[in-house]
Amino acid sequence: MKSHFTLNGGVAVACAVAGASTLMNGNCSAGTLIAADYATNSAYASGWSAGQNGGYGFGAWSFDGTVSGMTNVTYPDGIPNPGAQQTMSSGSAIGTAWTLFNTAPPPPAGPGISDVGRAITEPGGLQPGQTLEVVLQNPTTYQFYRGFDMLALNGTDNEPAGAGTSAIRTQVFEYFNTSLHWAIIDNNGSTRTPLDGLNTTAAGMKWDLTLTSPTNYSLTMTPLSNPSAAYSQTGTLTTNLPINYVNFRLYLGPSTGPEDPADNFEISSMTIAGMMLNIQLVGTNAVLSWPTNVLGLNLASSLNLGAAAAWSTNNLPSPVVVNNQNVVTNPIAGTQQYFRLQQ
């Protein structure tokens, strides 16, 4: 079996079939990471600062909007506090992480707000069929009129404190409720989820945002300590599109230092995965399948790649839906054939 992965127009993945004798009895799952960065990358070995980028597909980190804390105090462990509110930590459940922390109380009692973000540099931003995944560990403290949030938006820099003009926003904000329940804010308003921050902080959380069309999404939030308690929601994005920027903000504090899991917000990885196209040999047919929850994608085939490729959707059977998958059964013919999903 040969496999080939290609990107075109922001959404395309492909498998190559070189005839039944070559494919044997295997299958191909074609997909690719369009963007990826990890806190363990060597770029962050000496710390985390604005302008760094240890991966690909994302822009450099921006700390604009951060309001520095107190510069004349020392942490309990003796480390001088330079007033910075972004650092690296390694003591949380998710391991080495980019860490947002505040060395002074948030407004109005103090100036402490940590504001970080970065662009999605893939042309056109996040595309239908792509999934933005963030692995994080959130704070557990309760403070009146305080919280933390994640914003996916169309913009060029971090949103300042108090702004929330995002395509979709996920937050924990404590007002009169004595709990840390996550809320999702989209074009339909705010939805309070059953996920409590105490559950998602136990071993961290996986946050997966998939665009199912240019204006619709599916979001799954999975507590890593109890994956069966994952919460999923579908909905409509606001008009702040396309999504080309990701912003994280922490307005809790003060923290006792970089390794304070109760007050800090930590991120260990960010990735963007493309749509998955599966192919399997059944007799003399190639059976291709992909999820039905992503709209606007069509299966195309070509006998070549590169400049000579002529991708066509006309010579393929129409998909049928089986168990929430689009399925196309295509006879294997010729020496090789490539398949991809495209808009």
Torsion, Cα of 262, 80, 65, 147 (10° steps):
10
Cα–Cα dist 68/104, whole Å: 8
* Residue (of 155, 168, 158, 76) closest to 117 by Cα position: 158
Helical H runs in the chain? 20-23, 197-201
Among residues 343, 333, 340, which one has the least CA distance to residue 18?
A: 333
- Domains of the chain (ranges, CATH numbers): 14-30+276-342 (no CATH), 34-273 (2.60.120.200)
Nearest Cα to Cα of residue 273 among 30, 55, 35: 35
Phi-psi region of 90 (alpha: psi -120 to 50; beta: other; left: phi over 0): alpha
Q: Are 271 and 36 in contact (CB under 8 A)?
A: yes
Q: Which residues of the chain have pLDDT under 70?
A: 1-32, 68-84, 104-111, 176-179, 335
pLDDT given for residue 27 in this prediction: 56
Radius of gyration of the chain (CA): 23
CB 24: neighbour CB atoms within 10 A? Answer: 9
In the chain, the amino acid numbered 335 is: T
pLDDT at 22: 36
Distance CA 148, CA 136 (A): 12
